[in-house]
């Protein structure tokens, strides 16, 4: 008689538990229908913001870049370098010379006057070298600006991932505390019927205390993450954000990613420009072994006392008699070889950075994908078991709730893995110098 009473109470508790779970779909949310997909079941993000339209990651990045004072300063530096390049490599303005203008000439009504136009002739290769030097300065300024912008973008991506993960983890922690509260109530009922011991009850209370601690910490991290992102973007701290799509998988071969990085990274353009400048400087030093025209002058002489006016052309030459410039020529030859070898080092460095970021991304992408599939399958199976529980008199209601807690823990683990994957994506994009992940060939 006692066994029949206990069996009936278990079946009634299990049935009541299944009805209660209708308000909390397995892996879903309590305020709407459950999503049957893995992304809907484990990645439902509820921002606490009051904004109607969720803000996307691209919008957050654009606002951050527009607000960055450092980036604005670097952009101005690039504009300055562009203007200097436009003025570089041009010959000096000619010089007008007037002589024999004295007080005596004024008193005698300018009886004699000489005027001349003097043009300085630049050294051979000098103008081209100056132009390439200004272009090199521009490339250096562009490098600093572009890499800072890409680094800032990567940091914003990580901040955005922190907010999405913090929102999700806080929601999961709150759901877990709610389930543990109900579990304690069920265990109290089972304790009164003798189906559970007081030790089991104390363990349940300890689990709830730990969950409350996790909930408090999750709320604190959520506030900190939102506050930090709000400082970067100027958005309100309670803004609702739209989660980015899951990053796509990439093939095992990373050579295509290195090729993209070589095209995008400004370091490559700078080193190539430095090679051009070094060769121009070498040409200038070699040309100094040749006699070079220094200036040319066109003058006109007029005398009032005599009907004799004449024009004159004069020129000056630099003759390399004493300084053969051998040391400078050897120095620039070494500089050219050094910069030509440096580009191989830049390619090697970029390839190492891309490889490390690429392998980390592939590993975390595979980890997220496999865990997502396993969690999706476990969630469906748990739902089937819970729905079929009233037909089994051996299943206790608190055991069913423990099954739901397993699903909650899987959601939490998957949220952390997604955040780590977004971190890895930001590092890979920074290494490739890209705004988004290109399509692999």
Residue 214 lies in a domain: yes
Reading the block at residue 181, the tokens are: 């509260």
Residue 292 lies in a domain: yes
Residue 325 binned pLDDT confidence (cut-offs 50, 70, 90): confident
Residue 394 is predicted with a pLDDT of 60
Number of domains in the chain: 1
Residue 406 lies in a domain: yes
Residue 439 lies in a domain: no
CATH no. for residue 296?
A: 1.20.1600.10
Query: 377-400 burial by CB neighbour count: b if 16+ within 10 A, else e?
Result: ebbeebbeebeebbeeeebbbbbb
The verdict on pTM exceeding 0.75 is yes
Domain, as residue range, for 100: 2-432
Tokens 């010959």 correspond to what residue? 91
Residue 440 lies in a domain: no
How far, in Å, CA of 48 to CA of 177, rounded?
19
User: At a CB cut-off of 8 Å and minimum separation 6, what does 371 contact?
Assistant: 410, 413, 414, 417
Residue 375 lies in a domain: yes
Residue 441 lies in a domain: no
The mean pLDDT of 256-264, rounded to a whole number, is 94
Residue 250 lies in a domain: yes
Decide if pLDDT at 390 tops 50: yes
Which residues, in sequence order, are bridge partners of residue 314?
297
Query: pLDDT, tens digit, for every residue of 115-173?
Result: 899 999 999 999 999 999 999 999 999 999 999 999 999 999 999 999 999 999 999 99
Count CB neighbours of 415 within 10 A: 21
Reading the block at residue 34, the tokens are: 């459950």
């Amino acid at each position: 008689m006692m066994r029949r009473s206990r069996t009936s109470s278990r079946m009634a508790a299990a049935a009541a538990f299944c009805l209660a779970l209708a308000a909390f779909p397995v892996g879903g949310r309590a305020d709407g229908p459950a999503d049957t997909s893995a992304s809907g079941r484990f990645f439902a993000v509820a921002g606490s913001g009051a904004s109607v339209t969720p803000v996307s990651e691209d919008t957050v990045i654009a606002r951050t870049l527009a607000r960055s004072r450092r980036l604005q300063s670097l952009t101005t530096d690039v504009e300055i370098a562009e203007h200097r390049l436009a003025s570089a490599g041009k010959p000096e303005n000619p010089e007008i010379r007037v002589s024999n203008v004295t007080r005596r000439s004024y008193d005698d009504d300018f009886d004699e006057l000489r005027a001349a136009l003097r043009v300085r002739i630049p050294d051979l290769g000098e103008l081209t070298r100056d132009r390439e030097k200004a272009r090199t300065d521009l490339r250096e300024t562009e490098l600093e600006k572009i890499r800072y912008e890409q680094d800032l973008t990567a940091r914003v991506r990580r901040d955005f991932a922190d907010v999405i993960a913090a929102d999700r983890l806080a929601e999961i922690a709150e759901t877990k505390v709610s389930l543990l509260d109900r579990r304690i109530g069920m265990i109290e009922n089972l304790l009164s019927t003798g189906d559970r011991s007081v030790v089991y009850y104390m363990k349940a209370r300890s689990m709830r205390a730990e969950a409350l601690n996790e909930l408090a910490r999750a709320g604190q991290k959520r506030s900190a993450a939102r506050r930090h992102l709000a400082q970067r973007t100027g958005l309100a701290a309670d803004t609702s954000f739209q989660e980015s799509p899951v990053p796509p998988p990439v093939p095992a071969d990373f050579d295509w990613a290195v090729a993209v990085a070589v095209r995008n990274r400004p370091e490559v353009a700078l080193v190539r420009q430095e090679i051009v400048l070094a060769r121009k400087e070498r040409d200038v030093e070699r040309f100094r072994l040749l006699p070079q025209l220094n200036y040319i002058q066109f003058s006109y002489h007029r005398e009032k006392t005599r009907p004799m006016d004449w024009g004159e052309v004069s020129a000056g030459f630099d003759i390399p008699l004493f300084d053969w410039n051998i040391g400078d020529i050897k120095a620039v030859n070494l500089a050219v070889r050094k910069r030509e070898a440096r580009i191989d080092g830049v390619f090697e460095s970029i390839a190492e950075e891309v490889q490390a970021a690429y392998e980390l991304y592939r590993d975390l992408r595979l980890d997220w994908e496999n865990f997502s599939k396993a969690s999706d399958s476990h969630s469906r199976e748990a739902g089937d078991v819970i729905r079929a529980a009233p037909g089994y008199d051996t299943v206790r209601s608190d055991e069913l709730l423990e099954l739901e807690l397993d699903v909650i823990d899987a959601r939490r683990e998957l949220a952390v893995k997604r955040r780590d994957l977004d971190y890895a994506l930001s590092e890979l994009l920074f290494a490739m110098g890209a705004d988004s992940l290109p399509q692999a060939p």
